Amino acid sequence: MTHIRLTSLAQSLPSTVPFVGPETQERAAGRVFDARLGANENVFGPSPRATEAMAATQQWMYGDPESYDLRQALAAHHGITPDHIIVGEGIDGLLGYLVRLMVAQGDAVVTSDGAYPTFNYHVAGFGGVLHKVPYRGDHEDPRALFAEAAEVDAKLVYLANPDNPMGSWHSGADLVKAMETLPEGCLLVLDEAYVDCAPDGTAPVLDADDPRLIRMRTFSKVYGLAGARVGYAIAAPELITAFGKVRNHFGMNRAGQAGALAALEDTDWLAHVKTQIATARDRIAEIASDNGLTPLPSAANFVAIDCGRDGAFAKAVLDGLVARGIFVRMPFVAPQNRCIRVSCGTPADLNAFAAALPLALADAEKA
């Protein structure tokens, strides 16, 4: 009998995904969610110009393997050169390529305990050894991350700013100062998926040629193109060129490239969505406060809500919401798992959440 000859590393890994999708939960429940408030998608949608561009795209052609037009536009947008930019299948895809480039079996990598699990998934997939530091005051702790990186001789250290799942953030100036302690030979992977939602000054002002840093950006959040899977990274040209060694050169679909280009050009729609997100954050905070819960300050397109107890109670609240057709998520690790995380939604979405939350809390009290 022929057996599947997996590598020893693959044999050691669980067959899993970092997140259980809402569609999986809907199939299990036999119903569609009334409000999809768990995946940090932009329910306000992409620019109409992006939608039109995607619809007009001739799908019989492969996407441009160089994403030339989009890289040119992004370079002009950021005031850098196209050689500083790589476009890929969302930040998730780019993280996978980066880890493949830099992490061999046994190499040390540092992240925060409870931070974005997809990064950890990629590190495990290439045999890296994760070292984790706790959050400090619901914020990722750059100085502790960099100190741990020095201790274990890490190749990569991951930091999201603003943070997912807590929505907290550091000023760009504070990050620049903290990077003075980043050890030699360690690359900071700065995930800026939510930076377009954040206050001015959140993004650090650093030269794109800085060899200590790679910045990850996405069209999935404020630009509303999560389904198109378009992300990009900014780094020194030497590192960007290295992506050509491992990336899927035809991984970018042509419609996604066209949609991202049109979305980038529609600054009026971007401003409109930012206003919608800010309004929704305020409404989520109001709903939480009305129910005796504490909304945490957020610079992202979601709000973490402190349920006031432990993870078991927060999970009971989450389960009560899901049972009533409201899809939300929660942090995985204590003490952040005392919270549920609610994505920004339409007024109808948030009205449904407001109606379901007191009932879910009452159920959790009885559990």
Question: pLDDT tens for residues 305-348?
Answer: 999 999 999 999 999 999 999 999 999 999 999 999 999 999 99
Q: Are 182 and 237 in contact (CB under 8 A)?
A: no
Instruction: Just give the CATH number of 48-265.
Output: 3.40.640.10
Q: Using 50, 70 and 90 to split pLDDT, how confident is the model at 65?
A: very high
Containing 187, the helix (H) or strand (E) segment is strand 187-191
**Which residue carries 């600054």 as its tokens?**
267
C-alpha–C-alpha distance, residues 232 and 219, integer Å? 8
Phi and psi, residue 156, nearest 5°:
-130, 145
Q: How far apart are CA 106 and CA 152, in angstroms?
A: 11
CATH architecture assignment, domain 17-44+268-366 = Alpha-Beta Complex (3.90)
Q: What's the average model confidence in pLDDT over 17-44?
A: 93
More confident residue, 19 or 126: 126
| Percent residues over pLDDT 70 in the chain | 99
Q: Would you kindly state where each structural domain of the chain is located, as residue ranges?
A: 17-44+268-366, 48-265
Residue 181 reports pLDDT greater than 90: yes
Angle at 214 between CA 20 and CA 205, to 5 degrees: 115
Residue 2 pLDDT: 65
> Is the predicted pLDDT of residue 19 greater than 90, yes or no?
no
The model's pTM is 0.96
Query: Taking residues 51-61, what's their average pLDDT?
Result: 96
Contact 214, 189 (CB under 8 A): yes
Q: How far is CA 349 from CA 109, 299, 329, 352, 358, in A?
A: 39, 20, 15, 5, 15
147 phi, psi to nearest 5 deg: -65, -40
When pLDDT is cut at 50, 70 and 90, the band that residue 18 belongs to is confident
Q: Judge whether residue 1 has pLDDT over 60.
A: no
What's the pLDDT at 3? 80
